[in-house]
Amino acid sequence: MDRRGARLRLARRDGRRQGLPAGCASATLNIGVPQLLDAIVACLPSPADRPFKALDKGGAEVTRAADEKAPLAAFVWKTVADPFAGRITMFRVVSGTLKADSTVHNKTRTRPSASAT
């Protein structure tokens, strides 16, 4: 089997969630990290290829495709408190566009949240 065939099989298998690829690297020594990232880009499907399932304001399940013209939908995956910078929130924009100083609806809060620059 050639490399192209192996990549196509791995991408198909991961798209159907039938396999779990494994690799190893050392982030502290930077051994194998570029190769592992190249393999992820080459073999695994893009997040834009699969729709994102979420809940709307009313609690109903909706599916969002990656589209910058669609309404804003973002997934907060981590919030940290930094003694110098304050609260830092890391998120993935699923659809739409987030601009500086815009107001967004937070599903877990009753009032809108403001975004900083």
In tens, the pLDDT along 44-99 reads: 777 777 788 877 777 888 888 888 888 888 888 898 999 998 888 888 888 888 88
pLDDT confidence tier of residue 13, bands split at 50, 70 and 90: low
- The CATH T-level fold of domain 50-117 is Elongation Factor Tu (Ef-tu); domain 3 (2.40.30)
pTM of the model: 0.57
Residue 116 has pLDDT above 70, yes or no: no
| Furthest-apart CA atoms within the chain: distance in Å | 56
Cα(72)–Cα(43) distance, integer angstroms: 29
**DSSP state for residue 114 in the 8-state scheme:** E
Tally of CA atoms within 13 A in the half-sphere of 28 that contains its CB: 0
Return the structure tokens found at 38: 């190249």
**Segments of the chain assigned to CATH 2.40.30.10:** 50-117
What pLDDT, on the 0 to 100 scale, is given for residue 1?
Answer: 53
Residue 114 has pLDDT above 70, yes or no: no
- 44, exposed or middle or buried, with CB in 10 Å at 0-12, 13-18, 19+? middle
